A and B are shown apart, each in its own frame.
Chain A
Amino acid sequence: EIVMTQSPATLSVSPGERATLSCRASQSVSSNLAWYQQKPGQAPRLLIYGASTRATGIPARFSGSGSGTEFTLTISSLQSEDFAVYYCQQYNNWPLTFGQGTKLEIK
């Protein structure tokens, strides 16, 4: 099973600033990496797939990069609605696995 490790566990950023979240895979997952956003009391929402492709309706301030074992989610200018928990997920190998999440909080 591929282990996905996210860092940091919690990130404190001020509105308008840039946030950078990291995800590392225990072995290569090629570009088969997705990012999800989860707000309190809500189901997760797909943000990014294929490591760098935004899902339908996702604002351009969200961008993903990386391949192999190292991935990054960048939010260029944080809006109030972006404060949430973010999960990465690999879908290259069975079983599919998620990272433990990064909580993005208001500084």
Chain B
Amino acid sequence: EVQLVQSGAEVKKPGESLKISCKGSGYSFTSYWIGWVRQMPGKGLEWMGIIYPGDSDTRYSPSFQGQVTISADKSISTAYLQWSSLKASDTAMYYCARHGGGVSSTLDYWGQGTLVTVSS
């Protein structure tokens, strides 16, 4: 069974750094792109960027380029999303999801989400 299990909720202060994780199992982690999606409170879905764990090829949506860093450790089947300096506007639910058919494809399996709250 394909599963993506994300790290738990985080509460941070503005200016702090953060790295959240997404561990894949039940499939060949290095053979599928993993994407990250943001959902701000009460809002819709925003695709942030993508990584291919096999070679760490990473691409970002222009809206998120320079704002976050996506990485992966294929030895432990885990992808990451990190911030160097959080802002209150980063408060959101963040989902990882597997791209089922290549870099431009649908998101066929999703993690349960990680809620990030940034507040002073």
The answer to whether A46 touches B107, judged by C-beta atoms less than 8 angstroms apart, is yes
Q: How large is the interface on B (under 10, 10 to 19, 20 to 34, 35 or more residues)?
A: 20 to 34
The answer to whether A43 touches B61, judged by C-beta atoms less than 8 angstroms apart, is no
Q: Which residues 47-76 of A sit at the B interface, judged by CB distance below 8 A? A: 49, 55
Q: How far is the CA of A46 from the CA of B35 in the complex (A)?
A: 14
* Residues on the B chain within 8 Å of A93, using CB: 104
List A residues at the B interface (Cβ < 8 Å). 1, 32, 34, 36, 38, 43-46, 49, 55, 87, 89, 91-101
The answer to whether B62 touches A91, judged by C-beta atoms less than 8 angstroms apart, is no
Counting chain B CB atoms within 10 Å of each CB, the highest count among A43, A94, A99 belongs to: A43
Given contacts A43-B112, A92-B104, list 19 more A-B pairs with CB under 8 A.
A1-B62, A36-B107, A43-B97, A43-B111, A44-B37, A44-B45, A44-B95, A45-B110, A46-B100, A89-B47, A91-B104, A91-B105, A91-B106, A94-B59, A95-B63, A96-B47, A98-B45, A101-B44, A101-B45
Q: How far is the CA of A99 from the CA of B29 in the complex (A)?
A: 28
The answer to whether A46 touches B47, judged by C-beta atoms less than 8 angstroms apart, is no
Q: Give the shortest distance, in Å, between B65 (CB) and chain A (any CB).
A: 10
Residue in chain B with minimal CB distance to A85: B44
The answer to whether B108 touches A43, judged by C-beta atoms less than 8 angstroms apart, is no
Residue in chain B with minimal CB distance to A50: B106
* Residues on the A chain within 8 Å of B63, using CB: 95
Q: Give the shortest distance, in Å, between A65 (CB) and chain B (any CB).
A: 17
Residue in chain B with minimal CB distance to A55: B108
